[in-house]
Each structure stands twice: as structure tokens, then as C-alpha cells.
Chain A
Amino acid sequence: MTQHQCPSSKGKVEPPSGPRHLARLNGRAAWRSTEEFVDAPDFREFLEREFPAGASELLSTSRRDFVKLMGASLALAGAATIPGCRRPDHKILAYSREVPEEIIPGKPLFYATAMPLPCGGAEGLLVETHEGRPTKIEGNPLHPNNRGRASAEALASVLGLYDPDRLVNPRYDNPARGRLNATWDDFRVWAERELKAYDATGGEGVAFIAEPTEGPAWEHARAMLRKRWPNAEWVAWSPAAVDEPIAGARIAFGEPFRELFFTERARVIVSLDRNLLEDEPGAIANSRGVASMRRPMTSHDEMSRIYVAESAFSTLGGLADHRVRLAPSRIAAFAVELVRALLRRNPDLPGASRLRDALAALSVPAGDDLQIPMASGESGSFFDALAADLLATEHLGRSLIVAGATQPPAVHALTHALNAALGNVGTTVAYLPVSEERAAPAHAGIRRVAERMRSGGITAVFCLNVNPVYDAPADLNFAEAYARVPARVCLSVGANETAAASTWSLNGAHYLESWGDAVADDGTISAIQPMIAPLYEPAHSPIEFLAMLAGGEAVSGHDLVRAAWRERLGFAEGDARFERVWRRALHDGLLANSAPSPVRPSVRFEAIAESLAGLDVPAPPTSASMELVFTLGAVGDGRHGNNGWLHEKGDPVTKVAWDNPAAVSPATAKALNLEPDPYTARQEPRARVAALSIGGRDIRVPVWISPGMADGVISLAFGYGREVCGLVGTGVGVNAYTVRQAGQGRVVRGATLTRTGDHYPISSTQNHWSLESRTAVAREIDLPIFRERMAGLEHAGKATVKDPFVTGVASLGLAEKLGELSHTPPNLSLYENPYNQSLGNPDPRAIDPKTGAPPAYSTRPQWGMTIDLSSCSGCGACIIACQSENNIPVVGKKEVAKGREMHWIRVDRYFVGDDLNDPEEMISQPVACVQCENAPCETVCPVNATVHDGEGLNVMAYNRCIGTRYCMNNCPYKARRFNFFDWAQSKFNGGLDPRYVPESMAKDSATRITFNQNFIPPRLRAKLDEISKMKQNPDVTVRGRGVMEKCTFCIQRINRARVEMKLQDLGNVPDGFFQVACQQACPSEAIVFGDILDPDSAVSKNRTSHRGYLLLGYLNTRPRTSHMLRVRNPNPAIRVAVDHFHDHDHGGHESEGHDEPAGDAQHSWRHDPVRRTDDGGYTLSLKVLPIPMGAPA
């Protein structure tokens, strides 16, 4: 991208060269990327352009190709016009004999089901189906884990159902004739012939490799199989599984247990490299609990305090009040120091004497990484302050200490000891027993089976929904051992490496197509029921397959699950009571009261002390010997490899989409000379490729900088680098499994990174849609200041603000005073807009003189939204929910690099701190269209394609849009997205099937990277894959090329709710009657939507709270979405809260001064010298004032 294309930027004045002030947040600099922190002039030029360089370029076509192809397309266009004259013949196919009673054509139905998670647990879901076609996944409100919310992975799983690269039919690798298409009957015949021999030995020589799934149906099917082949080898394999937590529990309790958290009760959370909010069986419940303790509204509301020691920023680390960056191996030292401090402060803790003895003998190599800066004047260390916080009377029994997968068993055991000693067991943490089979070492089974395969001990192997050829530890050489087995059968939903290497690759049923059950984190048995018959019939789920193998006949999954549940519940066959239970369970999606009650195992302090004595804490890693941390990437352990939504959502911290670069800290990258080429006006960022070497294995990885990582640590995500995956996922990223060895969990020591000469383009969205040079975009305050200010306001009877839109009174809340609005006059509009001066008490001039009707915006409902930064962790579930609900296309890596990603809601991530290498905090801010009442986009649209409706929505008429992009240019929030191409027909969205592309135009039909379909007239263009089309929400238009689009608050749901109200003869839509997609998904419940004219609605309560502020409100756009400032709760001994209200307070405006209507506010708001130099928008706003500029009064 070297061309400088934008003609309007020619002859532009060079940006000022002096240093620019970064936006401040709570007294510290807030920035998104290294480029922004360093503030290179070249990057500044990028920021000032509307789009990155090359954004208006075609897909991948040079100018020469363009001319060539245009000729071809003209010829095609001529051919296309003749059939174009005919009116298309549409058919209506009604039901034939029976219409299922519950089906109302045109209305969606919702069914409960569950999605099993890779490391145990399940998410309870509700699936929206349109005439039997699942389109959208939502959380099941009745499910104890989800409570109506869902993770990004679950939300995106519906795309997996319509994956165009799914296996369609069984395929058999015929020794003589190669791979052949076959049928399930062929397989059954084959199985009968080939597998009969194993009956004599009871299945000796047969191995099954399956996911570690639980549930009655699963156990029932396995029992059936065991009856036929008692000696068959059974291996539970999940690459994401780790041994350390179970091993820690074994030390602490003598038996395997797993933890169940009640984060909503925790006032102090100490996390030792464990992100409770993601990649956990209970992540959704944990998110909900953590968030519920993070949003104080009044001066006396409780708020938790979170301490996190971690190697790379996680979503929990972003929320944390105190975050310490430490290499995983050094976190053990952190834990040791913490225990020492605890014992110093309270020598009488349970088990203290034993721990003390063990710690006395333990030597921890010193390192300055544990020298954590303290508040000035504080004598004790960080650990003393942390210990004091944990031991505070009000926190006893209300704290929670957790250790992550990177930590050794001794640290896990230590957390159990501490939780017990601090009285947390039973309040914030409970224990559930784990079966011995699940507690077995994660890699033992796969190692054993690989060895037996190699030695010829196993002659038939069945892989059920697992992909060990791709993800087994590298030193097992699984692929090679697998190839030696004569009978290899793989059942999988999508195309994968194992299926490609098997003699039989069988097409499995997606979980949305099959019967089954799963066990949620708390032990609740959740029902999996099919939403649709298998798309590629016949297809079988693993339990059906097992039952088929056991009995030789196909068994319906429904009967299997029913039988298993009836047995489990102890009902006799034909018992009518069971029918009631069964129906209820299917309706609710779970078996009520099936969760086991947690146990309270006694802690064995002596064993913990013993393990502690053997704890090996090394010195901090260096760039010569680094620590490699494996994480789960956006696509999980690789199972969602062909899921474009998850790829494009990218990582919540690095914001890298479509890749898994090795992330290192800025200092490490500098030391190793591996700094990526920055983003500039003329170039998209490129990473340096380095050779990552560990344990004698090498892999070439692009290196990316992630501020806030511990020095000497590499973080690399699993799940990428798939070789056999499909159109979307093949060849995305690098395969981290190739450097992982058996027995290694999530962290390996002794890695090196060596620079190579190569570069690798990286698509990171961290600099996209930047609100650069605008200050106070994300806002934050410390709890003591919040409490103090709120107490004063409450005392003065001003516990809430008046909503300026509703009341017309310009009153500024606490959060507003942290931003520009306190410096700008209440109304800057050049034109008086009598319609929306005040919704609650409209201007009499706006009343229709003829009819006397009230002004449009003063009648209920008036929609609004609040987004709480205090509880948002930045996980990105909202992005996927929006994508699914609104038919938002995937654009692919190259297009993301050009800034063309189409997400209507984005999550801006800011690092906060004055040190590039060690930012103190991370804050995530979701931004969608804020539905400005004075919308800048509307005034510039030449064709009125975007206008306001009577309920305050800024609506978008796609069919009217002519694609000038003026609106996008004029949107200060950068919330608008433009369809540069017919994305819906691109390969990521099911289009571009080579069968429909003219042969002569296909560049490379083998890889299906074909002709640029944008040059083919629409009528002849690549036809959409019929299956991929099914995922679209019928209530939302699929936008074509050249059309602007953006969030409209899920207007289809609003319209439907309104119609329902009409049908029921009810009045206004009650609060909470429906939810918008992002709100519904948010596991932290950070997004609230509703009617701002309803004084009792949750949204108006948030809007009128002192934490609400309007993003860029000083532009007088009057956004309907308000953000709520983040409150942090620092430990005063570690960081003293500073009242930053005084920082930009140029003339002592106390709260009273601002609460007055503007008239007499004749002071400081007009002039802020710092902001004036930095902030173009601010300066502009000053210019429109009628008052002549001058020195501040």
C-alpha cells in the first residue's frame, strides 16, 4: 500500500510537529497502540485521514486487471440483460398435511438447548428459529450458568452449523481406488465386516478418542459400547485441558475437586494468572458476578477490589484495580510473598505454622519484578497492603484467591489453603468432586494410545469430534502413528486434519442438529435438543454413533437421551411422571435440581506445606530464555477454525484479527529487535517474523507488541494454523501445537525468539475508528473520590442528575464534569431545534399548530442506551451478537487491514498509563451508533437516506443510499460502515463457489481464490451457497455493495415489540419487554436499553445517575447512548486516589455552578488552553460561540 490515493489530501497542511498530549484518563495517559503512544508524525497523518491507505482500492486487482475484467464483464452484462427482462417467478410452499401446532409462519420460535464447552461445562442457550431454521443464539434465561447471556463462542456457533465446508457425506479411503464418497450404509457394512473380529477379544485393539464430555446420555452410550467391547481403550482428549488445577486439589484435599465460584459475593479477588471471565466452564456466571460488584451507583454501594498478577493483559486484568505483570513462573513467587505477608500480619491463621515452616525453607530468587511501586509515604510492601486488605474484618470470608492454568499444582494447593484459612469456602468458593476419569492427566491417554498405535497394539481407532492429528502434542508424532493404524474412523462436523487422514471420515451432526445432554459448571444437567434435522442427512451425533457401533443398528438420539435420563432419575419405563419431567426439562433446557450440592473437603495443610517446599521458583525470564504461554485464541482450541465471525472479532487485548501472532512486551521486542513496522498513512502494519524455538522445536511466528506483558514472556494462541479446515480457516495464523510437547500445560520455559528477515502483515483494529485527539472519551474515577463526591451530592439532595434531554435543564453529573461538557456552553447548535430541546416538557413552538399534536420526540417511547464501562470487560460477545442479529458480513484479513471491517458495534480498547511497557490499566469501551438527536450524518446526506424517526432513532434506509459516504465522514463517533463490496457474496460469507465462476476467469481454482466477483454483473455473480444463506436473519436486509450501514438499536426488534403491544391492546412497550442483541448477549450486563422517557426504566435510571456521560457530548450531538464512567477501587496504600476534578478546574466550579441552566455560567468553560492546542473539535466548538474569544474570565 504505497499509493497515496486520496485526492483531497493533496496539498494538505502538514500536521503540527510538536508533541501532542495524549488523552488523559484519571490523571494518566490513555492510548490505544504503540504508534499512538509514540506519536509519530506519519501515524498522525494516518489518523487524520478518513480511511487507511488503500481503503478505496479494489479487492486484489491491479489497474491492468481491472481494464481486462471490465471488458469481460461488459460482455457478460450483454448476455445478462436478456434473461433480466423476465419477472422472477416466486413460489410459495405451504405446509402439506400437518402444520406443527406451535408454528406461526413468519414468527420465530425459541427453543432451549445447550452447548458443551471444550473443557467441561455447558452453556444453556435459547435458539431463535425461523420456520425451523436456527438463525440466532441467545442465552437461556433459566439456565444457572447463562441467565440469558452467552459467550461469543456460543453466539458464533450457529455459523458453524452453516459452515459451507462441513462434511457432507461419509468418505472412504479405498486402498486401491483412493478417497471415495460413500454412504452410512457402506460404513455399516464395512463396520460389520471389519469390526466383528474384535468381539472375540472384547475390543482389545480398539481405541476411542473423544472429548471429555459428561452427561447421562453420554455415559449411557458408553455403557452400551462397553457391553460390546469391555477392553476397548477410551481416551478423553482435549488440547485445552490442563492438569495443574486437579493436581493442586489432590494436594490440598487428597482427592480431585474442582472449584465453583460465587464471584458476586467476593469483595476482594486475587487472581494468580487466571482469567475468570473467559475460557472457563463458568465464565458467564463469573462475569455476571464480578460485574455485579463493580458498579456502584451511590456513595454507600459496595464495590469489590480485584488484584491480578498475570503475564499478559486479560479481560479480568483490564478490570482489575491493581495489576502486576509477572512471568507465569514468577507468579509463584508472588503467591509466596503474599502468604508470607499474610502470616506476618496474622500468625494465627489456620495452618499457619505448617506454611511458615515450609516457606522458611523456600528460597525465592529475587527480581525487581516483585518491587511493586507503592503510594508515596507508604512503608510496607505491596504484599503487606494486599494481606491487610484480605485480612480486614469486613473482607474475611468475602475474598477469593484463584490460580490459573499456568500455575504449578503447589500454587493451586496454596490458593485452596488460603481460601480455607480466610473463611471463603462456602461463601465465595465451593468444591465439586471430579470423577477419577476426568481427573486423569490430560496427556496420559493420548500418549498411551499414540504409543500403542505405533507398536501395532491398536488396529482400529475412532476419533469422535476430536482432531488429534492437528492438536496432539508434537512429540507424540500423532499423525505418523495414526497413519499406521489400518482402520481409522473419524466422526467430525467440519473438515479437519484427522478426517483427512482417516480411512473413514464420517459426517457428524452439529450440536444444533442432535440430541444429547451436557453438564454445566455447577453440575446442572442441560438438555441438547435439535433445532433442525441434520443439513446433510444422515448424520449422527457421537452418542448415536456409539450406540450404533454397540448395537449395529442406528439408534435415534432422542431415544438414547430419554432412556439415559429415565434411568438416571429412576423412573420405570412408561411412567407418566417421567414424561412430565422430560417435557419440562426440554422446555427449560435443563433438568431442575440436578446440580449436586457442593462439598466442603477438609484442607490438608501439611501436604500443602510439603508441596510448597518443593516449589521451584526460577529467576525472572530473560530474552535469552523466555517463557512461552499458550492461550486459547478467538477460535478456541481450533474447533471454530472455519468460523469467520470469531476470526474477525479477534483478540480482545491485542485487537489482532485473523491471526495469532506471538505477543511480547514492548521492551522485549525492542531488546530482540523485533518491533513491528508501525501503522502509518502509507502502510499497513507488518510484523517481524521470528523463529520461535523451544525444546528443540522451531516455528516461525510473526511477533506483535502487547503492552502490559511481562518482559521475557511470549504469548501464543492455540487454535490457528489449521491445514485442513475450509474456505475460511485454512492457513490462518500459525499452529502453536507444533511446539507443544506431551505433558506440557499452558507454559513452557526456555524459549527463544530469533529475528528473521521476513515480514508478515497483521490486521489489527486497535487504531481503527480512532477518536484521536478527543479527550475524555473513556472516563474513570477512583472509588474514594466517587464516594466523597457522591456523599456531598446526596447530602445536597442531588443524588441523581436531571436528564438534560428530558428536562431541558443543563445539569452536569459527576462524570460529565470530567469531560468537555463542563467547558462548553449548554447548546452550541447554530440552528435552534425546538423539537428536541426537552422531551419531557417540549417547547410550545414545536407543537403542531394545526392539530395540536405534541412534538415528535416528546412522546413515549424514546429509545436510549447506556454502556457501563465499569463492568465491561471487553470480551466482544456484543460484537458477535450484533453480527448474528443484523446479518453483518465478514470481510477477511486483507480488508480488515484496510479498515473495512463491518462490525456495527466495536470495542475500543485503551491502555492507561505513562509507561508504554507497563500500562497500569486497560479499559474497554464499546461504541456503536449513539443515535444522536442532532445527528451530523443526517444533515450531509444528499438523498435523505439517513433520517430520524419519531422515537429518537437515527434510521438508515439502505435502498435509498447512493454511497457518497458523506455521513461516514461527518460522524464524530466513526460508527458508520460502508459496503465497499458485495461482502455477502464473498467467500467468507458463503459466496464465490468456484462452480459458479467462469472457468476462464478463475485465477486458481485449486485454492478457490477466484475471480474478483465484483466485476461480474450481479445476476451472473457467484451464487451464494444455499446453506450459508440460511443463517441470515429474515428481519434484516442483506446489504449490497455501495451502501452505508450502521447500528439502529435493533429496530427490527423494536418494531416487533411495538406490533405485539398493538395486538395485545397495550400501551407503551414495558421496560425489559425486549432486549437489543448486544444487551442480551453481554455477560457483564453492561449494556442497558430502554425508554428514556419512562422514569422507572433501567436506562433512564442509568442516564440520570452521576456516572453517566455523553460521549463527545460537547459537540451537541445529543447522543441517545450514554456511557457510564468506570469506577476503580484502588487500595489506598498502593495508589492514592486523586481528585482529578481539580485538574482542569480553572476557576473552582463547584457542583452548584454547573447545575444551573447555562445563562449565568460566565466562566471557565469557554477556554482551556491545553485542549485548545490539542483538540480540533474543541477549538471548532469555540468558534461557533456568539461570544468573542478572549482570555478566560
Chain B
Amino acid sequence: MSALFPKWMNALPTLGAGAAFFGLIGVVWGTWYWATPDYTRVGYMPTQPGTGFSHQLHAGQLGIDCRYCHTKVEKSPEANIPNVATCMGCHAEERLRNWDIHRVGFVREAYAEDRSIEWRRIHKLPDYVRNFPHDAHVKAGVSCFSCHGQIMGMPVVYQAEGLHMGWCLDCHRNPEKHMVPPDKVTDLVWVETEWLARPIAGRNYNGVTPQQLVDSLRRSPPQTCGACHH
């Protein structure tokens, strides 16, 4: 009889329970860590058509304002992608330079053929979020930085934030964390270094404090389901 079940097997139930317990903890933790947008989506950086578009160069080094290209961000729920003609405003034939032709050839081609460039979309909210008005957020004084990260430093744009609901609500519950003076909304470097880098109590721009900005809102940021989901 004794040969059938060796003695050490008596420990199996205990070991099994222990393994199940830690395994469960591992699964929960793993899901928590790997299966959330903060892990699955942050850093998404698809290859863009042609040679891509360097925000670091255009917005960062050359200092082009966001709204020069994303023209309707203050007027529309959607921050539009510029049309090809906007690119050609600077990269047209007569401004041709030698190094230029390799990098913006695809823009010129698209313009010549009057077709769109198929940019890959990076920031995409789920289909059941039907209302994210860029215009209202910009108007309220939420900097581009808060959602899109330091775009001015990105040679290739990637997703910097998780864009999940808890992340949205964090700001809607505590708007003073992210509100910036209205004229500094698109000044991402300033926002990162001069404003958001400081503790909330220490932020002051010509006498404007976060609390003043929050008080100036006619309506506190909505936290109801219907604000975004309909």
C-alpha cells in the first residue's frame, strides 16, 4: 500500500492551495498591469506614411503653433488633420531644396494627384465615447500636453496617455491639476516645464493661479455618464 502514494504527496493539497492562491494573485496583478490601456495603448507608435511628420522639428524646433495646422481645434469637437495644401504652403516646388525632395516627396505627390495622405490614427477613443469636444477642452484651458504628452519633443508621435475613463475622470474631478492659462494652452514646453512641473500651490502665471482658473469655469467639468456616452 505504501508504494502507491509516497509520503511527500501529503503536502500536495497544501502546496496546491498555496500555488492557486499566489497564482490568483498573479493573474489579478497581471491583468491589472498588462491588460489596461496604460500598458496596451501607451506608446503606440505606428509607422506613418512617407517619411512621417516630425512634430519635434515643426512644432518644437521651428515653433509652429499647433493651431497653424490643427486649425479647427477651437471650433470643432474634432482637431482636424491639416489638408495637404497646408503642408504645401511651406513645401511647395519653388521652395525646393535638395534635402527636401526625399523627405516631402510624398506630400508633393499627394498634392499633385489631389489625394489624401493616409495618416495612421494614434489617439482613438472607443466607439461608445461619442462626445469628446476638443473645442470645449481647449476653451476651458486644458493644454494639448495633458492628453497628448510632449508632442513638441516627438519625432514620431506616439500615444502618451492611456485615455481610459479613470484617467479622464481624474482630471474632471480635479480640474485644477491640468488647467493652464488660456493663452498658454498650446505652449507645450512652457506647460510642461513652467506649470505642470510645479506643485499646484506653486503655479502662478502673472497672478493667475489654478484655483482662479477653476473658479472661472461656468460649469464644473461634468462627471456624468451622459457627458461622453450617448
Contact = CB atoms under 8 A, between A and B. Distances in A.
A949 B226 contact: yes
B222 interface: yes
Given A107-B76, A1055-B230, A1059-B77, A96 B116 contact: yes
Contact of A107 (B75, B115, B219, B230): B75
A97 B114 contact: yes
A92 B81 contact: yes
A692 B168 CA distance: 65
Interface stretch (A98-106, A304-312, A1091-1099): A98-106
Interface centre among A92, A949, A1037, A1038, by most chain B C-beta atoms within 10 angstroms, is A92
Contacts of B139: 1062-1063
A96 B227 contact: no
Interface in B125-167: 126-128, 130-131, 133, 135-136, 139-140
Interface string A80-124: 000000010111111111110000111100000000000000000
A70 interface: no
A105 B76 contact: yes
A6 B140 CA distance: 52
B157 to A, nearest CB: 12
B116 A1051 contact: no
Contacts of A1062: 136, 139-140, 218-219
A1051 B226 contact: yes
Contact of A1051 (B81, B85, B230): B230
Nearest to B138: A1063
Contact of B226 (A98, A953, A1038): A953
Contacts of B131: 1035, 1052, 1055
B58 interface: no
A1141 interface: no
B224 A947 contact: yes
Interface stretch (A401-409, A422-430, A954-962, A1171-1179): A954-962
A90 B118 contact: no
Interface in B162-199: none
Interface in B6-33: none
A957 B78 contact: no
B72 A104 contact: yes
A982 to B, nearest CB: 14
Contact of B75 (A96, A104, A949, A1067): A104
B114 A96 contact: yes
Interface residues of A, number: 41
Interface in B83-135: 83-85, 110-111, 114-121, 124, 126-128, 130-131, 133, 135
B20 to A, nearest CB: 26
Contact of A949 (B72, B121, B222): B222
B67 interface: no
A96 B119 contact: no
A372 interface: no
Contacts of A1036: 130, 230
A793 to B, nearest CB: 38
Given A106-B77, A1052-B131, A94 B230 contact: no
Given A98-B83, A105-B76, A91 B120 contact: yes
Interface residues of B, number: 44
Contacts of B226: 949, 953, 955-957, 1048, 1051, 1055
A1035 B44 CA distance: 26
A954 B176 CA distance: 28
B202 interface: no
B212 interface: no
A950 interface: yes
A93 B116 contact: yes
A447 B158 CA distance: 71
A959 B229 contact: yes
A94 B130 contact: no
Given A87-B44, A90-B121, A1062-B218, A957 B83 contact: no
A671 B136 CA distance: 67
B103 to A, nearest CB: 19
A1044 B78 CA distance: 28
A105 B78 contact: yes
Nearest to A1034: B130
Contact of B230 (A87, A1037, A1058): A1037
B225 A1055 contact: no
B46 interface: yes
Nearest to B41: A87
B116 A1037 contact: no
B36 interface: no
B39 to A, nearest CB: 13
B204 interface: no
Contacts of B82: 94
A1034 B127 CA distance: 10
Contacts of A92: 81, 118-121
Contacts of B83: 94-99
A1037 B229 contact: yes
B72 A96 contact: no
Contacts of B225: 947, 949, 955-957, 960
Nearest to A960: B225
A87 B72 CA distance: 28
A115 B133 CA distance: 33
B211 interface: no
Contact of A94 (B77, B117, B135): B117
A536 B139 CA distance: 41
B117 A1037 contact: no
B80 interface: yes
Contacts of A1059: 77, 133, 135-136
B222 A104 contact: no
Nearest to A1043: B128
A239 B133 CA distance: 49
Contacts of A94: 80-84, 116-117, 119
A1063 B127 contact: no
A1035 B128 CA distance: 10
B77 A955 contact: no
Interface in B200-230: 218-219, 222, 224-227, 229-230
A949 B225 CA distance: 7
A957 B225 CA distance: 6
Given A958-B229, A1037-B128, A1055-B131, A91 B118 contact: yes
A1037 B85 contact: no
Interface centre among A105, A948, A950, A1063, by most chain B C-beta atoms within 10 angstroms, is A105
Contact of B85 (A96, A1058, A1067): A96
A928 to B, nearest CB: 15
A809 B201 CA distance: 46
A959 B80 contact: no
A90 B76 CA distance: 21
Nearest to B78: A106
Given A947-B225, A953-B226, A106 B80 contact: yes
B116 A95 contact: yes
B41 to A, nearest CB: 9
Contact of B128 (A106, A959, A1055): A959
A1037 B227 CA distance: 13
A757 to B, nearest CB: 51
Given A105-B80, A1048-B226, 12 more contacts: A91-B121, A96-B111, A96-B115, A99-B85, A955-B225, A955-B230, A956-B230, A959-B229, A960-B229, A1038-B127, A1062-B139, A1062-B140
List the 9 shortest-distance A-B pairs measured between CB atoms, nearest first.
A106-B78, A955-B226, A949-B224, A90-B121, A95-B83, A957-B225, A106-B76, A93-B116, A959-B128
27 contacts: A90-B120, A90-B121, A91-B119, A91-B120, A92-B120, A93-B117, A94-B117, A96-B83, A96-B85, A96-B111, A97-B84, A105-B76, A106-B80, A950-B224, A953-B226, A955-B229, A958-B229, A1037-B130, A1037-B230, A1048-B230, A1051-B230, A1052-B230, A1055-B133, A1058-B219, A1062-B219, A1063-B74, A1063-B75
Interface of A: 87, 89-99, 104-107, 947-950, 953, 955-960, 1034-1038, 1048, 1051-1052, 1055, 1058-1059, 1062-1063, 1067
